Structure 1
């Protein structure tokens, strides 16, 4: 068991021995509170929507960013997206993605969002600088910040929190005893909440991740899951995301017999990681696929998913945007 897997088991179960670290948790909470009080937010020059969470690891933010960006673009905004670019090493910051960009430069999630949306997308540890570049140099009149809930230097008009409906807030503790980056009370301060699947007794707008078409990484062939050959349902499943079990369960719900291969979030893959001594197909998430496509292996497939969010969320979002524009 990896360190990440062990921590997740404690964070999303019973903390047990981690309770010895409660004094560090109190110190962490104090630092978080002071940091939030002392940092002065600055506007990027356009309305800004932050989409994030208060827990470590994935909760489904990327599909939400894409869904919200598509909706706002459809309603007439010139949308830009900013992200930290975690896992990437760009030649300079802020870094504007182009068709020549690579996941190694931008990070896997920004690369995926750029490919899927085609929208101006800039990455930088200083998201404020990235947002200002999109506004000043590319004429964006609405910025969406991916995973920037705790980036308090960036002034925001609307906050959207995405919560993993299966795992909720884990054991309820902040780091290092639990998975929370901020206390649970922070979730009650945001404009809108989205619950990604599951039924953890949480209130918010429901979202389901839906994928019905597999895509071959070498040929680009698209194959509906409903048409997948019945004699090839035993597969290797690859997931280097915050909650790999969610992906494996979704594959099983589609009728696959899955040999699980979980990896740490944002894992930097080598061919040996995803090459097995058999002829079974390999199915991975789209986020993993952006780093594995260059291996050019015929039996590698990905399963793109889209977030289907309760339509009432968009009504609430539009109402919030109308209030923001009135303020501006």
Structure 2
């Protein structure tokens, strides 16, 4: 699926040009929804709200960035709460607060992963404003981070970050379904920060554009919790599986660590079965942290998880925290623990 998307959307050509009427309709509907949401814009929530999202369809690294923002905020005294739509989850009731035993089938893979990786409260609700209000009623924290909510205009927000995959960029520059753009590039004029994952993008013009890299940090056995040095992958046969937005990036990361990679790419949020995890010969099975939360009950002893962390320049951290402090002044009753 990913290679097909790459061919149709992320090249220089526009093979789906016959679908331009649908792309125009998609854009009109999107802009109409945004105008209506802003026209009836509710009062802001009583704490700062940060939204991480993207303009392009597919994986860009939003969740690792969200986890990094949690770390930054905690380091400066804030108590962040993550909001998520919970794509792929099937809970009977919302809001849902994720804990260590919550299944990905119930909450979605990304919320479970974010809670396990950060220890931060994660509230799942397709109606993210309802989830936000519930989180505040429960006193879970004093600042909210919405993972993948740039187009969810019902949620008031104070800071927006748009994330791009530098290798894919804006693709052919057309809107869905002709190209990958959920909204036109003019939308970037309203966001606070543009983050490009893996390098700079000359096609984008924004005064606060920063480069992010995803750095491998840990190799952990999914069954036992045992850790192994990343160097142990060098020269070793690895069978990799990835049900994420850009599986190629994960495979390339393993290759950069010296592994001899064969693998299988699945659609984003794929619901894994045991047969998907069968490895040829004695190969080590390696997967992403996002996929691992769905495979805890079906993976064998040879299953390992490669965790990554988002690395950003110090200039971004300073600019981001300065922007948060500006918002802090608007909410005097919700100060961070340290200033």
Q: TM-score range by the shorter chain?
A: over 0.9
- Structure 1 window deviating more from structure 2 (199-208 vs 148-157): it is 199-208
Aligned residue runs from structure 1 range 92-241, under 5 A: 92-201=93-202, 202=204, 204-228=209-233, 230=235, 233-241=236-244
Deviation of 1:52 after TM superposition, in Å, equals 0.6
CA distance in 2, matches of 1:277, 1:249: 20
CA distance in 2, matches of 1:247, 1:168: 17
Task: Please give the alpha-carbon distance, in whole angstroms, between the structure 2 residues aligned to 1:151 and 1:129.
Answer: 12
d(CA) in 2 for partners of 1:121 and 1:5?
32
Q: How many residues align?
A: 324
How is 1:1-328 mapped onto 2 (pairs within 5 angstroms)? 2=1, 5-39=3-37, 40-42=40-42, 43-201=44-202, 202=204, 204-228=209-233, 230=235, 233-328=236-331
SS at match of 1:27: helix
Measured against aligned partners, the alpha-carbon deviations of 1:40-59 in whole angstroms (never above 9, x if no partner) come to 33333311000111111110
- Conserved? CA contact 1:44–1:135, under 8 Å: no
Q: Distance in 2 between matches of 1:216 and 1:300?
A: 6
Distance in 2 of aligned mates of 1:227 and 1:178? 40
Distance in 2 between residues matched to 1:56 and 1:22, nearest whole Å: 17
Q: Secondary structure at the match of 1:295?
A: coil
More helix by share: 1
Give the TM-score normalised by structure 1.
0.94
Provide the TM-score with structure 2 as the length reference.
0.91
Distance 2:141 2:199 in 1: 35
SS in structure 2 of the partner of residue 294 of structure 1? coil
Please report the RMSD computed on the Cα atoms of aligned residues, expressed in angstroms. Answer: 1.5
TM-aligned CA deviation for residue 199 of structure 1: 4.4
SS at match of 2:132: helix
Instruction: State the Cα distance separating 1:214 from its structure 2 match.
Output: 1.1
The corresponding residue for 2:334 is: none
Moved more, 181-190 or 6-15: 6-15
Gapped regions of structure 2 (runs ≥ 5) = 332-339
**In 2 relative to 1, CA 188–299 (structure 1 residues): closer, same or farther, beyond 3 Å?**
same
Distance 1:162 1:16 in 2: 23
Gap change, CA 1:207 and 1:17, over 3 Å in 2: closer
Q: Which residue of 1 aligns with 2:337?
A: none
Q: Distance in 1 between matches of 2:285 and 2:72?
A: 33
Deviates more, 1:205-214 or 1:194-203: 194-203
Q: Which moved more, 1:277-286 or 1:158-167?
A: 277-286
5+ residue gaps in structure 1?
Answer: none
Asked whether the equivalents of residues 234 and 258 of structure 2 are also in contact (C-alpha less than 8 Å), the reply is: no
In structure 2, how many angstroms separate the alpha carbons of the residues matched to 1:142 and 1:170?
34
Distance in 2 (CA, whole Å) between partners of 1:198 and 1:177 is 25
How many Å separate the matches in 2 of 1:139 and 1:121?
9
Where in structure 1 do 4 or more consecutive aligned residues deviate above 4 Å? none
Supply the distance in 1 between the matched residues of 2:260 and 2:232 (Cα, whole angstroms). Answer: 16
